[in-house]
Amino acid sequence: MRRRYLEAVLRQDVSFFDSNTSTTATYQVVSSISSDADTIHDVLSEKIPNILSNVTAFFSTIIVAFILSWRQTIVTLPFTLLFIVPGVVYGKLLMEVAKEMGEAYGIAGGIAEQAISSIRTVVSYVGESRTLERFKQALERTTALGIKQGFIKGVVAGSMGMVYAVWAFQAWFASVLVTKTGAQGGSVFVSAICVNLGGLSIMSALPNIKYFSEAMTAASRLFEMIDRLPPPDSINGRGTTIEELRGEIEFKDVIFTYPSRPDSIVLCGFNLQVAAGQTIGLVGGSGSGKSTIISLLQRFYNPDKGKILLDGHNIRKLQLRWLRSQIGLVSQEPILFATSIKENILFGNEEASMELIVSAAKAANAHDFITKLPNGYETHVGQFGFQMSGGQKQRIAIARALIRDPKILLLDEATSALDAQSERLVQDALDQAAVGRTTIIVAHRLSTLSRADMIAVLQMGKVVEFGNHDQLTQHNGEGGIYSRMVELQKAVVSGEVRPTTRSRSHGRTMSSVNSTSSIMPSYQEQSCVKEEHPVTLQTELGRFFQKNMDKERIKTS
C-alpha cells in the first residue's frame, strides 16, 4: 500500500501540486506513507482480531444462555442493545472527529515540516517565535477536537453503567422463573451471567471501533490518491514514440494559462520554430513566458489552445515517459537529493558506468572540485545540496543532464550561479554538449547568447523580435529591443549606469514593437484577453535589468 501510494503521488501531473500548494498537502504525503499506513497496519494486526474475538465470545455466550434457560435469555437479550447501539452511534461520531483531527494535524505538521526543511531561512530571519506561534494557532483546532473526542469516549465508557441495570432486572426475573415455573436456580443464574458476558464482550469491542474508524479514514486518504488518475498518465505507457528523433520543435498559436491562475494569460498566440540541432535563446522580462515554454516542452502542462510539435508529431500523442527521457534539463535553481554526488549524477542515467560519470563531470567542469573533496564522488551533498556551494550544485546538475545524452537540451539560466571563470569553462562545455542537439537557452545574461543560432525576444507571451545576435543588434540601424538590452547591460557591467540615472535609461522612449516585423514576418498578432494593468515595454526592461544589475556589478568588482 505504501509503494502504491508513493507511485500514485509521483505520477500526478504538475498542475495537481500547483492546485494543492498548502502545507497540509505536503505534510499529508509524508504522514500518509508513515503514520496512516502504521494506523492501518495496527488495526489489521491487533484491533480487528480483538473485535472478532469479542464478537465470537458474544455469540458463544448467547448460545450457552439459550441452552441453559431460553426464557431468561429471550427476555433479557434485548437489553444487550443498550451495549450495541451506543457503540455504533459513537463509532460514527468518532470517525468524523478523527477525519477532522487528521486534517487539523496536517496543517500543524505542514508548518513544522516546512520550518525544519527550510531551517536556514527560518534562523536567518529570526523566525523561530513566528513559526512557534503559527504552530500553536494550528494546534488550537486539534485541542477543541480532542476535547470533543474525549467527551464521546467518556459517554461510551459511561454506558458501562447499563450493566448494573440489566443485572438487577435479570436477578428479579430469575426469581420469578424459579418461584413460578420451578426452573433450576443454577441454570437461570448462569444463563444471566452468559447474557451479561455477551454484553460485556460487545462493550470490549467498542473501544476498538475508534481505531477502526481512524484506519478507515487513513485508508480513504490513501486510496483517494491511489485511485486518482492524472490526465497525462506517465505510468500506463500510452502514446507513440519516434524511432529516429531529430529534435525539430515547433510552437503553433499556443495560448496558455496556469491552472492555478486561470485569469492570467502567460502565452498569447505564441509561435516559434526550432530546427533540429539548432541552438535558440529566449530573452525577455520576468513573466514573459520563458520558463513556461520549458515546462510546456516537458509536458508539465498542456496548452489551452494551439499545438506543440516534435518532428511534426503533436507531443500530446507521444508517450510521456519516452518524451521526457529525450530531454535534459538544467534549471536556474538546481535541486540535489540528500545522497552522494555519484548518485545525484546517476539520477540522469541509472545505468551509466563510472567512466561516464567522470566524463559527464569533466564536461560540466565539476570533476576537479569533486576529486578534491574528502570522499570524492561518494561525498554526500546534504538535504537539497546545502553542503555544496551554488556553483558546485549547478555543475553537478549540468553533469546530471549531460550523462543521459539527451536529444533536446533545455538550459534555464544554467550558468547563473557560476563565477566568471567557471561560467566561461562551463559555457564552453555546454556549447560542445549542444553539438548535434536541439538546445533552448533561457538567459538574462545576454553574453551567453552571442553564439546562439537564433534569439527570440519575448514580451507578454509573444515573440516580438527574432533573429541571430548580429541581426538583432543591428536591427536595420533602428535600435530594437534586443540591441537596447545589450547596450544597457554593457553599460551596467562597465559601471557607466548609476542608480541615479538608471530610471532615466529605462525611461527612454523606445520604438514600437511593430517595427520588428521586418525581421520576423511569420509572427502574427493574436487576440487574447488583456490584463487589467498591461505591462509596458519600459517597465519590462526595468524589471529585466533590475533583477541582474547588482549581480553583474559584484561580478565585475
- The answer to the question of residue 416 being in a domain is no
pLDDT value, residue 519? 37
Among left, alpha and beta (phi > 0; psi -120 to 50; other), residue 509 is beta
- CA 216 from centroid of its chain's CA atoms: 25
pLDDT value, residue 53? 93
pLDDT value, residue 413? 78
Is the domain of 108 the same as that of 204?
yes
Identify the helix (H) or strand (E) that includes residue 174: helix 162-176
Is the domain of 297 the same as that of 186?
no
pLDDT value, residue 164? 81
| Local confidence band at 64 (pLDDT 50, 70, 90 cut-offs) | very high
Is the domain of 453 the same as that of 518?
yes
- pLDDT surpasses 80 at 495: no
Q: In the chain, what is the greatest distance between 2 CA atoms, to the nearest angstrom?
A: 123
- Asked if residues 463 and 525 have their Cβ atoms less than 8 Å apart, the reply is no
Is the domain of 161 the same as that of 281?
no
Cβ neighbors of 18 (< 8 A, separation 6 or more) are: 258, 259, 260
- Asked if residues 305 and 267 have their Cβ atoms less than 8 Å apart, the reply is no
Is the domain of 146 the same as that of 254?
no
pTM beyond cutoff 0.95: no
- The answer to the question of residue 398 being in a domain is no
- Asked if residues 318 and 242 have their Cβ atoms less than 8 Å apart, the reply is yes
- The alpha carbon torsion through 415, 353, 11, 290 (nearest 10 deg) reads 20
Domain that holds residue 182: 2-226
Cell of 41: 497496519
Other Cβ atoms within 10 Å of 243 Cβ, number: 5
Cell of 115: 520550518
- The answer to the question of residue 433 being in a domain is no
pLDDT value, residue 95? 74
- Asked if residues 370 and 343 have their Cβ atoms less than 8 Å apart, the reply is no
Is the domain of 212 the same as that of 131?
yes
- The alpha carbon torsion through 373, 379, 381, 386 (nearest 10 deg) reads -40
- The answer to the question of residue 526 being in a domain is yes
What is the b/e burial string over 489-516, where b = at least 16 CB atoms within 10 angstroms of the residue's CB?
bebbbeeebeeeebeebbeeebeebebb
CATH number at residue 60: 1.20.1560.10
Is the domain of 216 the same as that of 253?
no
- The answer to the question of residue 174 being in a domain is yes
The pLDDT of 126-144, averaged and rounded, is 87
Pick the more confident residue, 96 or 42: 42
- The answer to the question of residue 371 being in a domain is no
Q: Give the single-character DSSP code of 118.
A: T
- pLDDT surpasses 90 at 404: no
Alpha-carbon distance of 404 to 347, in angstroms, equals 9
- Domains identified in the chain, total number: 2
pLDDT value, residue 469? 79
Query: Which 3-state string (H, E, C) describes 447-472?
Result: HHHCCCCEEEEEECCEEEEEECHHHH
- Asked if residues 268 and 255 have their Cβ atoms less than 8 Å apart, the reply is yes
Is the domain of 20 the same as that of 150?
yes
- Coil, strand or helix: which one is 442? strand
| Local confidence band at 419 (pLDDT 50, 70, 90 cut-offs) | low
| Local confidence band at 531 (pLDDT 50, 70, 90 cut-offs) | very low
Is the domain of 267 the same as that of 217?
no
Is the domain of 184 the same as that of 81?
yes
- Asked if residues 370 and 377 have their Cβ atoms less than 8 Å apart, the reply is yes
| Local confidence band at 507 (pLDDT 50, 70, 90 cut-offs) | very low
| Local confidence band at 61 (pLDDT 50, 70, 90 cut-offs) | very high
CATH number at residue 482: 3.40.50.300
- The answer to the question of residue 381 being in a domain is no
- Coil, strand or helix: which one is 366? coil
Is the domain of 210 the same as that of 261?
no
- The answer to the question of residue 342 being in a domain is no
- pLDDT surpasses 50 at 302: yes
The length of the chain in residues reads 557
Cell of 242: 519516434
Strands of the sheet containing 438-442, edge to edge, are 327-330, 408-412, 438-442, 279-284, 454-459, 462-467
Is the domain of 301 the same as that of 157?
no
- pLDDT surpasses 50 at 521: no
